[in-house]
C-alpha cells in the first residue's frame, strides 16, 4: 500500500522551517507495513493545494497532508478540501466544545478565530486532536484515502499514532511489520556495511536491513513483513536470532537494542552498578554533561561536572599540575588522566570522564591538528585513555567527541576496555 506525504505551507517553501515531520511519518508508516513512494510540498494557495493533491494521488493509495490548518492560515486548506470533495463546511459541536473547554480550563477567553477551527467539511471523518486545536480529517474518494493533519509536530505525532495508523491498518487490512533495532557507536556506515556483507547476503528475502546513521552512531534496523497472522511469532523469533547474530558480529561497536540512546544506556549501567558519574570537560565545554542530563532521572547517578576551559581552571578546579600542562600541553594523555582523577576527587564520583581536544577551527599544530581529542575514563582502581582524530568542523567535533566519550565510559563500566 503506497502513501504520498504532502506538506502544505509557504514556510516550508521559503525554508523558514525544516520539515522534520515527514521523516518521522515515513519511519512510522514503514514500520506498519506501508510504503512512502513520494513526498512533496506546496504553498498556501487553493490552486497549489489542488494540484498538489492531484499529483500526490496519481501514484498513491493514501495521501497524508500536514500543515495549513492553523487559525492564522485563513482556513484555505479546509475550504479547498471541502470544495475538492464536494461537501459543505459545517459547524462541528464536539470540536467546538472541546476547544471551549480548553480555554475555560486555562482561564482565558476563547479568541473568535477559534470558532473557525470547529467548522469542518461535512463528509470528513473527524479525528479528535486531544493535544491541540485543529482536528485531523479523513476523506475517501474512488478507493483512495485523503488525510489532513495539523503541522505542529507533537499534534501530528499524536494523531498519526492514535488515529491514522490504526485506521489505515484496518482499512487496508495490513499485517504488522516485525522489527528489531541494533544500536552501534564509533564506526561509519560504509565500514559496517563491509563487515556485514556476508550477513546481508544470507538474509532471506523477507527480512530487510536498513542503516540509520547519525553523528558517530549507526542504528541497524531489521524488518520483516508479516504475511499471515500465524507466522508473526515465528518471524519475531527469527528476527531475535538475526539481531543476536548481528550484535555478535559487531560486538565491539554495539551498545544496545531498541529505541535507547547511548546516554540512556550509560545511565542504565550506572544505575545497575550503583555508581555515581561525572565529567571534566575542556573542548566539549559541557556538551557531555548536557547529554547525560538530557535523560530524565539522571540526577540519580550524576551529581555534577566541571568544565575547565583554561589552564587555570584545570589546575584550580581539578587539581591538574601546571607542570603537566606546560610540559605535555592540555591536549595530552597526561593531562586528561590527571583531569579524570581530579574529577573523581573533586566531584566525589565513582567514575569520571575527562576530555581535552582541539575543536577548531583554529588552534591546531602540525603534531596536534584540529580535531585531535584525548579522552580518559577513570575509577579508583584504573584508567584508560584514548586519542581520536576527528575533522575540521567545530560543532561536529564536539558532537562526535560526545558519542565517543560516552561509548568509552560504557565500555569501561562493562570492563570491555
By CB under 8 A, the residues from 206 to 235 that bind its own copies are 210-213
For position 360 contacting its own copies by CB under 8 A, the verdict is yes
Closer Cβ to its own copies, 79 or 346, answer by number: 346
d(CA 317, CA 309): 11
Closer Cβ to its own copies, 39 or 169, answer by number: 39
Interaction with its own copies in 48-87: which residues (CB under 8 A)?
48, 51-52, 55, 59, 72
Q: From the CB of 355, what's the least distance to its own copies, in Å?
A: 12
Pairing of strands 177-185, 136-141: unpaired
For position 309 contacting its own copies by CB under 8 A, the verdict is yes
Q: From the CB of 34, what's the least distance to its own copies, in Å?
A: 11
Q: From the CB of 178, what's the least distance to its own copies, in Å?
A: 17
For position 310 contacting its own copies by CB under 8 A, the verdict is yes
For position 14 contacting its own copies by CB under 8 A, the verdict is yes
Q: What is the contact mask toward its own copies in residues 387 to 416, using x (rule: CB under 8 A)?
A: -------xx--x------------------
| Planar angle of CA 255, 256, 262, nearest 5 degrees | 65
For position 317 contacting its own copies by CB under 8 A, the verdict is yes
* Contact (CB, 8 A) for 156 and 66: yes
Q: Is the peptide bond before 34 cis (omega within 30 degrees of 0)?
A: no
Interaction with its own copies in 84-143: which residues (CB under 8 A)?
none
For position 299 contacting its own copies by CB under 8 A, the verdict is yes
d(CA 314, CA 306): 9
Residue 65 DSSP label: E
Q: From the CB of 124, what's the least distance to its own copies, in Å?
A: 26
* Contact (CB, 8 A) for 103 and 157: no
Interacting residue with its own copies among 127, 159, 288, 320 (CB under 8 A) = 288
* Contact (CB, 8 A) for 250 and 192: yes
d(CA 407, CA 56): 43
For position 312 contacting its own copies by CB under 8 A, the verdict is yes
Those residues with Cβ within 8 angstroms of residue 143's Cβ, 6 or more apart along the chain or in another chain: 61
Q: Which helix (H) or strand (E) holds 10?
A: helix 10-13
Q: Which stretch binds its own copies (CB under 8 A): 10-18, 136-144, 254-262, 405-413?
A: 10-18
For position 308 contacting its own copies by CB under 8 A, the verdict is yes
Number of residues counted as binding its own copies (CB under 8 A)? 76
Q: Which residue has the cell 565500514?
A: 191
Interacting residue with its own copies among 144, 316, 327, 382 (CB under 8 A) = 316
Q: From the CB of 43, what's the least distance to its own copies, in Å?
A: 7
Those residues with Cβ within 8 angstroms of residue 138's Cβ, 6 or more apart along the chain or in another chain: 124, 125, 126, 127, 145, 146, 147, 164, 167
For position 24 contacting its own copies by CB under 8 A, the verdict is yes
Interaction with its own copies in 363-382: which residues (CB under 8 A)?
none
Those residues with Cβ within 8 angstroms of residue 18's Cβ, 6 or more apart along the chain or in another chain: none
Closer Cβ to its own copies, 82 or 134, answer by number: 134
Interaction with its own copies in 320-359: which residues (CB under 8 A)?
346-348, 359
d(CA 301, CA 298): 6
Q: Which stretch binds its own copies (CB under 8 A): 143-151, 173-181, 247-255, 298-306?
A: 298-306
For position 236 contacting its own copies by CB under 8 A, the verdict is no
Burial of 28 (0-12, 13-18, 19+ CB in 10 A): middle
- Residue among 17, 69, 64 at smallest CA distance from 40: 64
For position 19 contacting its own copies by CB under 8 A, the verdict is yes
Amino acid at each position: 500500500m503506497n502513501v504520498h506525504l504532502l506538506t502544505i505551507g509557504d514556510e516550508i517553501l521559503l525554508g523558514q522551517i525544516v520539515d522534520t515531520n515527514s521523516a518521522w511519518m515515513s519511519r512510522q508508516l514503514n514500520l506498519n507495513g506501508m510504503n512512502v513512494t513520494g513526498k512533496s510540498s506546496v504553498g498556501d494557495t487553493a490552486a497549489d493545494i489542488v494540484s498538489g493533491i492531484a499529483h500526490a494521488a496519481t501514484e498513491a493509495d493514501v495521501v497524508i497532508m500536514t500543515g495549513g490548518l492553523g487559525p492564522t492560515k485563513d482556513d484555505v486548506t479546509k475550504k479547498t478540501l471541502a470544495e475538492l470533495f464536494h461537501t459543505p463546511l459545517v459547524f462541528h459541536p464536539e470540536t467546538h466544545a472541546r476547544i471551549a473547554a480548553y480555554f475555560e480550563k486555562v482561564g482565558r477567553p476563547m479568541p473568535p478565530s477559534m470558532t473557525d477551527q470547529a467548522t469542518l467539511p461535512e463528509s470528513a471523518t473527524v479525528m479528535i486532536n486531544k493535544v491541540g486545536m485543529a482536528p485531523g480529517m479523513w476523506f475517501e474518494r474512488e478507493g483512495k484515502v485523503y488525510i489532513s493533519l495539523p503541522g505542529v509536530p507533537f499534534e501530528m505525532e499524536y494523531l498519526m499514532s492514535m488515529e491514522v495508523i490504526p485506521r489505515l491498518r484496518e482499512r487496508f487490512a495490513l499485517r504488522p511489520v516485525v522489527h528489531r533495532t541494533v544500536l552501534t557507536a564509533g564506526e561509519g556506515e560504509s565500514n559496517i556495511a563491509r563487515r556485514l556483507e556476508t550477513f546481508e547476503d544470507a538474509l532471506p528475502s523477507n527480512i530487510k536491513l536498513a542503516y540509520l546513521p547519525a553523528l558517530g552512531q549507526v542504528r541497524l534496523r531489521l524488518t520483516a513483513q508479516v504475511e499471515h497472522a500465524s507466522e508473526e511469532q515465528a518471524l519475531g523469533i527469527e528476527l531475535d536470532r538475526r539481531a543476536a547474530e548481528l550484535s555478535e558480529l559487531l560486538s565491539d561497536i554495539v551498545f544496545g537494542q531498541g529505541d535507547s540512546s547511548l546516554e540512556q544506556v550509560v545511565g542504565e549501567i550506572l544505575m545497575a552498578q550503583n555508581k555515581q558519574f561525572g565529567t571534566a570537560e575542556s573542548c566539549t565545554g559541557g556538551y557531555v554533561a548536557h547529554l547525560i542530563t538530557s535523560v530524565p532521572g539522571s540526577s540519580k547517578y550524576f551529581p555534577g561536572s566541571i568544565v575547565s576551559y583554561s589552564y587555570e581552571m584545570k589546575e584550580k578546579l581539578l587539581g591538574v599540575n601546571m607542570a603537566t600542562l606546560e610540559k605535555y600541553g592540555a591536549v595530552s594523555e597526561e593531562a586528561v588522566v590527571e583531569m579524570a582523577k581530579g574529577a573523581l576527587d573533586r566531584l566525589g564520583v565513582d567514575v569520571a570522564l575527562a576530555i581535552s581536544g582541539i575543536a577548531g577551527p583554529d588552534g591546531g599544530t602540525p603534531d596536534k591538528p584540529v580535531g585531535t581529542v584525548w579522552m580518559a575514563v577513570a575509577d579508583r582502581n584504573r584508567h584508560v585513555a584514548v586519542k581520536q582524530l576527528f575533522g575540521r568542523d567545530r560543532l561536529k567535533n564536539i558532537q562526535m567527541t560526545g558519542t565517543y566519550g560516552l561509548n568509552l565510559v560504557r565500555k569501561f563500566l562493562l570492563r570491555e576496555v
